[in-house]
Amino acid sequence: FLSNGTLDEEFGEKGKYIFHFPDTDIAASAYNEECLKNARSKSTAPPRSNQFKPYSREASSVQGDHIILLHTLGTFEWTDSLIIRLTEDGALDTTFNGSGFVRVSHDNFPFLELQSVTVDDTGNYISGGDVRADYYEQPEAIILVKHRKDGSLDTSFQQEGFLQIHDEDPNYGLRLIKTVKQPNNRVLCLGFRFSKVFGELSGFLISREADGASNIQFNSGKPVFTNVNSSTTFCINADFLPGGNFFTTALVDIVSRERHYAVARFLHNGAIDEDYGNGAGWLVYREAKNFTIEASTIKNNKIIFAVDDEHDNIIHRAIARGLMP
């Protein structure tokens, strides 16, 4: 879009770019057709309000003169993700992997889904998501994968280019929502921890070095788990300040229709900054509700949330521009 909100018709084809996957291996098997039939039969049923969303949406980002897209494709039998790179004018960048995209799959898990991508100081890509053994199961681990800036897999990164991050307690699992580049070329992983038995949800932060090793300067290399006012919590975004401290946005009261946003400030070592939010470290915005697709932007110590406006059981969304001095 142009700055006045109108479509930039110089971008792509009349303002839009559509990616067409050239492969033909998404074949319809009998198993897949039966699962699809069952899924469609349940799609008209209203979701139960006490269930958290079992999915995250892929992200896109603008990096220098490139636009990076993530896309997931597959069936009930397998899932792969694509990293797609466009030029700034909305064309597929065929200098990236010779095709403009990279298909990412894991040898040990038939289901891999990427949700976020960061670019390190040398232009390499670190993507994050999760892996599952079965379509209907919760994720077995967070997955980080590293590609060089030309699109080739960096097999020197951890185990042949992949890093699995598990919860130390087998009764719990982790779900990634976003990765954010830290100072010193580190990567911060954000998301939520869930109980495989009770469904309890806590936000988490995990910091990794550029090579995937644990950042021992961040909570001694351990994940930071947090709940805002003892409520179910998703951590969804972060932005680092010049001194290494950072803001984190979260969605709170996930299992209710009243879920809303909150903001925390953390010290560089992962400890909550109790000088923020009147001693609690958090500021809670109960009037900023969201129960569909959560999003936040942090810049210059200011934060913008995407909120839902519901009237007569209809949810309204819009594209808005927030001004920051």
Spell out the residues 6+ positions from residue 296 whose beta carbon is closer than 8 angstroms to its own.
236, 237, 249, 261, 303, 304, 305, 306
User: Which residue type is seen at 116?
Assistant: S
Kindly write down the DSSP assignment for every residue of 304-317, as one continuous string. Answer: EE---EEETTEEE-
In this predicted structure, the answer to whether residue 47 has a pLDDT above a threshold of 50 is no
Closest among 151, 242, 143, 243 to 187, alpha carbons compared? 143
Q: What is the pLDDT of residues 225-259, one digit of tens each?
A: 999 988 999 999 999 998 889 999 999 987 777 88
Six-digit token pair at 96? 């990236």
Q: What is the pLDDT of residues 128-151, one digit of tens each?
A: 999 999 988 889 999 999 999 999
Question: Lowest mean pLDDT: which of 49-53, 252-256, 285-289?
Answer: 49-53
pLDDT computed for residue 312 by the predictor: 74
Spell out the residues 6+ positions from residue 233 whose beta carbon is closer than 8 angstroms to its own.
192, 201, 202, 203, 226, 227, 250, 251, 252, 254, 262
Q: What is the pLDDT of residues 194-205, one digit of tens each?
A: 998 887 899 999
Task: Please tell me the distance from the alpha carbon of residue 247 to that of residue 286, in angstroms, as a whole number.
Answer: 18
Interior angle at CA 191, CA 97 and CA 186, nearest 5: 55
pLDDT computed for residue 229 by the predictor: 86
Six-digit token pair at 272? 């909550």
